[in-house]
A and B are shown apart, each in its own frame.
Chain A
Amino acid sequence: MEPTTKIHIENLNVYAGKQQILKNINIEIPKNKITVILGPSGCGKTTLLKCMNRLTDLYPELKVTGKVMINDKNVLEAGEDIVKLRQYMGLLSQRPYPLPMTIYNNIAFGLKLKGVKKRRNLHKQVVRYLQQANLWDEVKNRLREPASRLSIGQQQRLCLARGLAVNPEIILADEPTSALDPISSQYIEEKFVELKNDYTIVLVTHVLRQARRIADFVVFMYLGEVIEQGTVEEVFGNPKMEKTKQYLGGTFN
């Protein structure tokens, strides 16, 4: 059965000044699967991810053209609607950025933006999402402490809980395990596999083993271009392009 497409990217080009950093990207990201965007550093993976929820807006030097369709809406032409569109997409970045407030309010912040107002309801949801990110037992007695006091692994789980709390359909993850210890990394990976039943996950990584472990689909990028895309079996088992073979074989230069 063909999976349905969740994100459809068509003729996406990104320029930074005169330099072109993404070249004519066309990809389909299937629903309820983990799609891994794989490639060496500096190949434009992160930029591609940031086009999906238009965080490229924050970088004055970037110019983006093309289409990024999510739920039949072009993110790139959404204007101010992007504020609401972004709530469809939770973000997990390389390093956790806890909001400068208490642990509790880190989760409650997004919920309040979604219009959850009643205190009891808010509390119930905060507890639920902290439990879902496996953080509840560690923080239940320190909910009023600043989130910056948590360890970095805990912070990353807090960011996951915070992202899930706004009830997105998609999770965008930009090398979310690169700053974490092996145990925290493993936890995040396991969580992703569990979450794909309810969410569409896009994971940027340069770690081959991680891609092999959890990917359903793989998009291999090199120097701003998509070299190859397909299921994990296709790309890892039988790569068609020379560059992909080299990268997978570790003979890349």
Chain B
Amino acid sequence: MKYSGKIEEKVFKILMVIATYSILAVLAIIIYSIFAKGIKALSWEILSQVPQGGYYYGKGGGILNAILGSLSLAFGATLLAFIVGLPVALYINVFLVRRKKLITLFRFILDLVWGIPSIVYGAFGFSMMILLGLQTSLLAGMLTVTLFILPIMIRSMDEILQTVPIGLSEATYSLGANKSELAFKIFTRQTVSGIITAILLSFGRAIGDAASVLFTAGYTDNLPNSLMEPVATLPLSIFFQLSSPVPAVQDRAYASALVLTLIILLVSLFSRGLGKRYHKTKINF
């Protein structure tokens, strides 16, 4: 008996080790290839200029159009999603506290729409644009991405708001606070770093998604200059330029991939740092 148990343990241990390291290896290869090709392509010229002579064939220039386009689109979408999402998350956790079934339903729906592929949001945004007579533009892309990250924003804030101890609500109510005061003055303060983490997580999703902006934001060689004009984005900069037969253009795609990866890395490092700080203050009683 004892002997067979040992074999079982060994087999499973080996399986786990293989699975873990093979995954790590694949990830390492991906990151290596992004960095190897990206760093070679990266230069001040690429970062500071727009493509010369068209993004698909032109050999000179860079990806500034996509960098600024992606940043403004993701920033706008995150801001909009935050403005809409925070009240929703607070409403669920403070006002609906006695409506258990309704809360469960809301969370279920949000989890469901979280799982919808972003291309579906893109298609929805596109059909809305046709209905409203809108062109592909920064605004259309921003609104579509807002819809796409809204469930992520709401649910991650909702998760963090659920960690507020009920005793704190009791204490606040006993001081004569009403529900909005509890929500906006206590819940938001108690969870501020968690809320920022939710914002950063949503920003990361917003900036990295290609499918939702494909039909809605369009693509352009120009820098973003108006809400009503199309904008370039980093994911599409990869998508369009990598398929070009011109090696110089492909380099722009690799540079875009590297820049995008670095932006997301930065965002996630930052939110991790916040998470740690949050933990510290929690324990420090």
Contact = CB atoms under 8 A, between A and B. Distances in A.
Most chain A CB neighbours (cut-off 10 Å) among B167, B173, B176 = B176
Interface stretch (B20-28, B95-103, B132-140): B95-103
A55 B168 CA distance: 12
Contact of B190 (A60, A87, A100, A166): A100
Given A60-B97, A60-B100, A113-B181, A97 B167 contact: yes
B175 A113 contact: yes
Contacts of B97: 57-58, 60
Contact of B171 (A57, A87, A97, A149): A97
B174 A149 contact: no
Contacts of A95: 167
Contacts of A177: none
Interface string B170-206: 1111111110010001100110100000000000000
A89 B174 contact: yes
A57 B176 CA distance: 14
Nearest to B173: A86
A29 to B, nearest CB: 17
Contacts of B170: 50, 55, 58, 91, 93, 97
B284 A163 contact: no
Interface residues of B, number: 27
A58 B166 contact: yes
B281 interface: yes
B99 A55 contact: no
A87 B170 CA distance: 12
Nearest to B178: A83
Contacts of B173: 53, 55, 58, 83, 86
A149 B284 contact: yes
B127 to A, nearest CB: 40
B189 A55 contact: no
Nearest to B284: A148
Given A113-B181, A152-B285, A87 B176 contact: yes
Interface string A144-183: 0010110010010001001100100000100000000000
Given A58-B166, A100-B189, A166 B175 contact: yes
B174 A113 contact: no
Contacts of A87: 175-176
Nearest to B166: A58
A97 B281 CA distance: 14
B222 interface: no
Interface of B: 97-100, 165-178, 181, 185-186, 189-190, 192, 281, 284-285
The 8 residue pairs across chains A and B that have the minimum distance between CB atoms: A91-B174, A87-B176, A110-B175, A100-B190, A100-B189, A97-B167, A97-B171, A97-B168
19 contacts: A50-B170, A58-B170, A61-B100, A87-B176, A91-B170, A93-B171, A97-B165, A99-B186, A99-B189, A100-B186, A109-B185, A110-B175, A110-B176, A113-B177, A113-B181, A162-B171, A163-B175, A166-B175, A166-B176
Given A86-B175, A86-B176, 15 more contacts: A53-B174, A57-B97, A58-B98, A60-B97, A83-B177, A83-B178, A87-B175, A89-B174, A97-B167, A97-B171, A109-B177, A148-B281, A152-B285, A166-B175, A172-B174
